[in-house]
Structure 1
Amino acid sequence: MSTYLVTGGAGFIGSHLGESLMASGHRVICLDSFSDSYDYRVKMRNVQQDSCRDSVAAITGKKEALAELSRCLESERYRLETVDIRDRAALERIFQSEPIDAVVHLAALPGVRASIEQPLLFDDVNVRGTLLLLETMKKYGVRKWVCASSSSVYGNNKRIPFSENDSVDSPISLYAATKKSCELMGYTYHHLYGIDGMMLRFFTVYGERQRPDLAIHKFAKLIDQGSEVPFYGDGSTKRDYTYIGDIVGGIRGALEYAENNESVYEVLNLGNSRMVSLGEMVECLEKELGKKAILRKLPAQPGDMTMTFADIGKARRLIGYEPRTSFEDGIRNFARWHGGRTS
């Protein structure tokens, strides 16, 4: 049994990864700040078990509810720590408390548009927080990690599909710039201190438990309610949507690769290697929810990429990554979870 520290472990991707690791017999230390970027109760539900539901529901205060959730979930396989990655003392306490075999770093402030509005906060959390994590890993001898990067680092790349060899020197949002910074810091700590790292560029992850502010989840809720859906641009922007199960498989493969090899620093795309337009995404949601979207046409937003498309050849070669869920099947799974009608 290995012990993995998963930062952002109560979030959309982190909660799925934690379940997968525990199902394979490993121990997970879930670190999450439960920040106010969206309702903290969403993340509580991501990790909450049926046995905890009544005791947690009886508590109204955030701090008290999280303390009860941590107490209830504590087991041989799982530990929940409500910690901000910028809290150096708290990080040290966790690393001191038990041996950690590897770190999966998913914690970050999300959102292209939000990063343009709050650049200093995004720098503090995403860059400084990652640096503090690396410093703590160095101090306590943890030499393996997987770090979540993003397809946003490619900016408006002209080469299709996006390859890890393409230049990422022209980010068009502060969020993208913070993610590139994390990749660079990962290389520096690998070079100086021998910390082996896998930098994973996620391409528009979706599926059950997707964050409520992300397009598919947000659109589904508005379509269900019969409310207007904010529709930016003419619908021609395209994304490489990647199902959560495929992303978890890619993270697990990257973690295994880092653990089984020495002197590792790699950047990998994790996508589905298929582009779907915004208009096609809405049509697919309409079909699975059985309702028509009411679109409110708006101008394209600054910082939004025109398209993303992953070349996943390197991930296939190195870690055996192979996405298995089509966009249509993934939306069907999401709609079922969301409570929509499926065909």
Structure 2
Amino acid sequence: MRVMVTGAAGFIGYHVAAALLGRGIEVVGVDDLNAYYDVRLKQARLARLGQGFVFHRLDLADHAALARLGDGVEVVVHLAAQAGVRYSLEQPFAYAASNLTGHLSVLEMVRHGKTVKHLIYASSSSVYGTGSALPYAEDARADQPTSLYAATKRADELMSRSYTHLFGLKQTGLRFFTVYGPWGRPDMAYFGFAEAIMAGEPVTLYDEGRLKRDFTYIDDIVAGILGVFDHPPGDAAPHRLFNIGNNRAEYVTDLVRLLEEQLGRQAVIVNRPKPEADPVETWADVSALGALCGYAPTTRLEAGIARFVEWYKDWREMREG
């Protein structure tokens, strides 16, 4: 079996590719290795993916080149995207190219390909924006995005739904909630906090740390993706959307405390008002995914942060050595 993973050099993409390879599945990895964050980290992830993995450096906006890679692919796990809520305020056109044109390129590849049976694609908890009751359920309104990033991910969902309606594509969209863990993204809060604490630099908390997030450990995320992989859509519901989170909202201050304990250093806290694009709280209702494939996250924040810090110390030494 051959599976394409877009964003294979990214945080979630790397872990998914490794899990698929562990099953003996051939993985075609696609990534443009852009400089949004340290490319050395992306290259280090790729270096750990061994036999059965074939990598292509490619911008998904190049739809003709992407289409040529689809031969023999049975499942596409589309995780490539321009991430980051605040960065979308600085570089909006990067989001149009990667998240909109890139997603359309993948849809067109699947549409015209003869072998793809299932497209699994990444959406985001950001699509809920404002106006939805907690915990977020998949049938909640998602028409009030508070960032361009959120708007592009919701647009991806709508494009996918239209391609299913028009062309019968079998698809599953996953709304990720604050993923963290080893080999994570440096632009995420937990990683940035660890860097600041180790450097003795300020850690910025919004609204004095009263914000809450549904922190989801990477192993639980991979388990959910594999669950969807093993339970593809049928004809009755060819396009599906699922939350994939930890089903537990926790204060950002608790995250900082756990990082301080594991790193053995105190954070220098700076308090600032919450940016308009940031929600006060995120919290996933994961009952639908649980009903589909038994998804039940098991990793508590204290255990996940301990594993992240263990990896982070090694990565920091290797990076600076």
TM over 0.5: same fold? yes
Q: Does 1:326 find its partner at 2:294? A: no
Question: Once the 2 structures are TM-superposed, how far is the Cα of residue 109 of structure 1 from its aligned partner?
Answer: 0.3
Give the aligned partner of residue 271 of structure 1.
245
Question: Once the 2 structures are TM-superposed, how far is the Cα of residue 196 of structure 1 from its aligned partner?
Answer: 0.6
* 2:178 counterpart (204, 208, 230): 204
Contact kept? 1:239, 1:276, Cα under 8 Å: yes
Give the aligned partner of residue 3 of structure 2.
4
Q: Does 1:127 find its partner at 2:97? A: no
Contact kept? 2:132, 2:141, Cα under 8 Å: no
* 1:145 counterpart (98, 119, 131): 119
Summarize deviations over 1:85-135 as a string: whole Å, max 9, x none.
00122112212xx40001000000001111122223212210111011111
Summarize deviations over 1:62-86 as a string: whole Å, max 9, x none.
xxxxxxxxxxx774x1100000100
Amino acid at match of 1:14: G
Question: Once the 2 structures are TM-superposed, how far is the Cα of residue 17 of structure 1 from its aligned partner?
Answer: 0.5
Give the aligned partner of residue 317 of structure 2.
none
Contact kept? 2:132, 2:140, Cα under 8 Å: no
Q: What does 1:286-301 align with in structure 2 at a 5 Å threshold?
A: 286-301=260-275
Summarize deviations over 1:226-266 as a string: whole Å, max 9, x none.
2211222221010000000000011111112116x345211
Structure 1, gaps ≥5 residues long: 50-72
Question: Once the 2 structures are TM-superposed, how far is the Cα of residue 224 of structure 1 from its aligned partner?
Answer: 1.3
- For the structure 1 residues 158 and 130, does the alpha-carbon distance in structure 2 shift closer, same or farther, using more than 3 Å as the test? closer
Contact kept? 1:15, 1:47, Cα under 8 Å: yes
For 1:308 and 1:111, the matched residues in 2 are separated by 16
Percent identity between matched residues is: 40
Give the aligned partner of residue 53 of structure 1.
none
* 1:92 counterpart (67, 71, 82): 67
Amino acid at match of 1:101: E
The secondary structure found in structure 2 opposite 1:6 is: strand
Contact kept? 1:145, 1:255, Cα under 8 Å: no
Give the aligned partner of residue 234 of structure 1.
208
For 2:199 and 2:261, the matched residues in 1 are separated by 15
Give the aligned partner of residue 15 of structure 2.
16
Contact kept? 1:34, 1:82, Cα under 8 Å: yes
Amino acid at match of 2:111: K
Summarize deviations over 1:310-336 as a string: whole Å, max 9, x none.
001101001211101111110111111
Question: Once the 2 structures are TM-superposed, how far is the Cα of residue 5 of structure 1 from its aligned partner?
Answer: 0.4
Amino acid at match of 2:282: T
For 2:93 and 2:197, the matched residues in 1 are separated by 34
Aligned pairs, number: 312
User: CA-atom RMSD, angstroms?
Assistant: 1.4
For 2:227 and 2:263, the matched residues in 1 are separated by 33
For 2:276 and 2:91, the matched residues in 1 are separated by 14
Give the aligned partner of residue 41 of structure 2.
42
Contact kept? 2:205, 2:271, Cα under 8 Å: yes
The secondary structure found in structure 2 opposite 1:212 is: coil
For 1:309 and 1:74, the matched residues in 2 are separated by 36
For 1:195 and 1:93, the matched residues in 2 are separated by 19
Summarize deviations over 1:187-237 as a string: whole Å, max 9, x none.
111111111111100000000011111100110111112221122222101
Contact kept? 1:156, 1:307, Cα under 8 Å: no
The secondary structure found in structure 1 opposite 2:163 is: helix
The secondary structure found in structure 2 opposite 1:37 is: coil
Contact kept? 1:143, 1:194, Cα under 8 Å: no
For 2:140 and 2:38, the matched residues in 1 are separated by 37
The secondary structure found in structure 2 opposite 1:291 is: coil
Structure 2, gaps ≥5 residues long: 315-321
Summarize deviations over 1:24-65 as a string: whole Å, max 9, x none.
11010010000111121110001214xxxxxxxxxxxxxxxx
Q: Which moved more, 1:152-161 or 1:327-336?
A: 152-161
Contact kept? 1:205, 1:242, Cα under 8 Å: yes
For 1:325 and 1:20, the matched residues in 2 are separated by 18
Give the aligned partner of residue 317 of structure 1.
291
Give the aligned partner of residue 319 of structure 2.
none
For 1:228 and 1:10, the matched residues in 2 are separated by 30
Give the aligned partner of residue 79 of structure 2.
106
Give the aligned partner of residue 245 of structure 1.
219
For 1:324 and 1:81, the matched residues in 2 are separated by 34
Give the aligned partner of residue 70 of structure 1.
none
The secondary structure found in structure 2 opposite 1:339 is: helix
The secondary structure found in structure 2 opposite 1:81 is: strand
For 1:320 and 1:255, the matched residues in 2 are separated by 13
Amino acid at match of 2:56: E
* 2:54 counterpart (71, 76, 79): 79
Give the aligned partner of residue 55 of structure 1.
none
Amino acid at match of 1:288: Q
Question: Once the 2 structures are TM-superposed, how far is the Cα of residue 288 of structure 1 from its aligned partner?
Answer: 1.4
